[in-house]
Structure 1
Amino acid sequence: MRDDSGAESADSRLAARLASLRAERGWSLDELSGATGLSRSTLSRVERGELSPTAASLGRLCTAYGLTMSRLLTEVEAEPPRHVPAGSQPVWYDASVGFTRRSVSPPHPGLRGEVVEGTLDPGAAISYENPPVPGVEQHVWVREGTVRITVDGTTHTLATGDCLRFRLNGPSRFHCPGPDRTRYVLLIVMP
Structure 2
Amino acid sequence: MADTEQNISGRISALRKARNWRLEELAEKSGVSRATLSRIERGETSPTAIVLGQLARAFGITMADLFGFGAPAGDARIARADQLLWVDPETGFRRRSVSPAASGFRGSVVEGELPPGATISYSVPPLPDLEHHLVLLEGTLVMTIGDERHDLFPGDCLRFRLNAPNAYHAPGPDPARYLLTVITS
1:147 & 1:125 partners in 2: Cα distance?
Answer: 10
2:80 & 2:26 partners in 1: Cα distance?
Answer: 35
Q: Which residue is equivalent to 2:134? A: 140
CA shift digits 1:28-53 (9 cap, x unpaired): 22222122221110001111111111
1:122 aligned partner, one-letter code: P
1:44 aligned partner, one-letter code: S
Assess if the C-alpha contact under 8 Å between 1:10 and 1:76 holds in 2: no
2:132 & 2:144 partners in 1: Cα distance?
Answer: 13
CA drift of 1:106 comes to 1.0
Q: Which of 27, 31, 36 is matched with 2:25 structurally?
A: 31
Tell me whether 1:169 sits opposite 2:158 in the alignment. Answer: no
Q: Secondary structure at the match of 1:123?
A: coil
Q: RMSD in angstroms over aligned alpha carbons?
A: 1.4
- Gaps of at least 5 residues in structure 2 are none
Q: Which residue is equivalent to 1:120? A: 114
Q: How many pairs were matched up?
A: 184
Tell me whether 1:11 sits opposite 2:5 in the alignment. Answer: yes
- Share of identical aligned residues, percent? 47
1:133 & 1:188 partners in 2: Cα distance?
Answer: 11
Assess if the C-alpha contact under 8 Å between 1:35 and 1:64 holds in 2: yes
- TM-score between both structures, scaled by the size of structure 1: 0.90
Q: Which of 70, 74, 78 is matched with 1:77 structurally?
A: 70
Q: Which residue is equivalent to 2:59? A: 65
The alpha-carbon distance between structure 1 residues 10 and 180, as it changes in their structure 2 partners (threshold 3 A), is closer
2:54 aligned partner, one-letter code: R
Q: Secondary structure at the match of 1:156?
A: strand
1:15 aligned partner, one-letter code: S
